[in-house]
Amino acid sequence: MAEEISTEALKQKLIAELPAAHVEISDTSVNRCGAAFEAIIVSDTFEGKSLLARHRLVNKILEKELASIHAFSQKTYTTEQFAAQSEKQ
């Protein structure tokens, strides 16, 4: 049986390995069973990288976990982009 993946485990791995300044992870699967997640990831590591390069970087870090996840949606921002996005709301 596959090990259940938690939002906190995903968050801590991204903070440690990216490193990320801010991470929000939501379990969007039915019954919150850990099969589908949405993520907002803020890191200055993304500076100068295309959206595809950012997503590939995150996917590489979470490679083991993604093998057990049915769906993973991510929004990736630099610190500056996230601040600008937050001001609009």
pLDDT of residue 3: 63
The answer to whether the CB of 54 falls within 8 A of the CB of 76 is yes
Token pair 């919150």: residue: 32
- Mean pLDDT for the chain? 92
47-68 pLDDT, tens digit per residue, is 999 999 999 999 999 999 999 9
At residue 1, the pLDDT reads 36
In DSSP notation, 15-84 reads HHHTT-SEEEEEE-SGGG-SSEEEEEEE-GGGTT--HHHHHHHHHHHTHHHHTT-SEEEEEEE-HHHHHH
Residue-level length of the chain: 89
Structure confidence by residue, pLDDT tens digits, 1-43: 356 789 999 999 999 999 999 999 999 988 777 789 999 999 9
Split at pLDDT 50, 70, 90, the class of 45 is very high
